[in-house]
Amino acid sequence: MGNAKDTLIPGISPVIRAWASVGGKKESEGPLAGEFDLLNGENSLGQESWERAECLFQQQCAELCLKKAQLTPDQVSLALGGDLQAQCTATAYAMRTLGFPYAGLYGACSTMTQGLALAACLAGSCLLPQVLVMTSSHFCAAEREFRTPLGYGGQRTPTAQWTATAAGACLVSPQGKGPKITALTFGRVVDLEVTDINNMGAAMAPAAAQTILRHLAGRGAQPGDYDAIVTGDLGLVGTRLLLQLLEGQGVHLTNHRDCGLMLYDRQTQQVGAGGSGAGCSAAVLCAHFLPRLAAGEYRRVLFLSTGALMSQTTYLQGETIPGLAHAIELEGCV
Partner 1 sequence: MVKRACPPSALATDCLWAFGVGGGICTLGEGLRQLYLSLGWEKDAAGSLVSVTLIGLSGLLTCLGLYQKLAAKAGAGTLVPITGFANSVISPAIEFKAEGLITGVGAKMFIIAGPVIVYGLTASWVWGMIYAFTGWTGMGG
Helices H / strands E in the chain, number of each: 12, 14
The least distance separating partner 1 from the CB of residue 227, rounded to whole angstroms, comes to 26
Calpha distance 177→174 (Å, rounded): 10
Judge whether 212 and 310 are in contact, CB under 8 Å. Answer: no
Q: Which one among 34, 41, 149, 318 touches partner 1, defined by CB under 8 A? A: 149
Asked whether position 270 contacts partner 1 by CB under 8 A, the answer is yes
Asked whether position 153 contacts partner 1 by CB under 8 A, the answer is yes
The site map against partner 1 for 240-259 (x = CB under 8 A) is xx--x---------------
**Largest interatomic CA distance in the chain:** 54
The least distance separating partner 1 from the CB of residue 223, rounded to whole angstroms, comes to 20
Calpha distance 89→82 (Å, rounded): 8
The least distance separating partner 1 from the CB of residue 151, rounded to whole angstroms, comes to 3
Asked whether position 76 contacts partner 1 by CB under 8 A, the answer is no
Calpha distance 52→37 (Å, rounded): 21
Residue range at the interface with partner 1 (CB under 8 A); choices 237-245, 290-298, 302-310, 311-319: 237-245
Q: Which one among 157, 222, 268, 312 touches partner 1, defined by CB under 8 A? A: 157
**E strand map for 63-193:** 78-82, 102-104, 131-137, 162-163, 166-173, 180-185
Asked whether position 155 contacts partner 1 by CB under 8 A, the answer is yes
**Span 160-199, contacts to partner 1 by CB under 8 A:** 194, 199
SS3 call for 183: strand
Asked whether position 80 contacts partner 1 by CB under 8 A, the answer is no
Calpha distance 40→25 (Å, rounded): 6
Asked whether position 320 contacts partner 1 by CB under 8 A, the answer is no
Nearer to partner 1, 148 or 268 (CB): 148
> Which amino acid appears at position 72 of this protein?
T
Judge whether 180 and 12 are in contact, CB under 8 Å. Answer: no
Residues within the interface to partner 1 (CB under 8 A)? 48-49, 144, 148-159, 194, 199, 202, 236-237, 240-241, 244, 270, 273
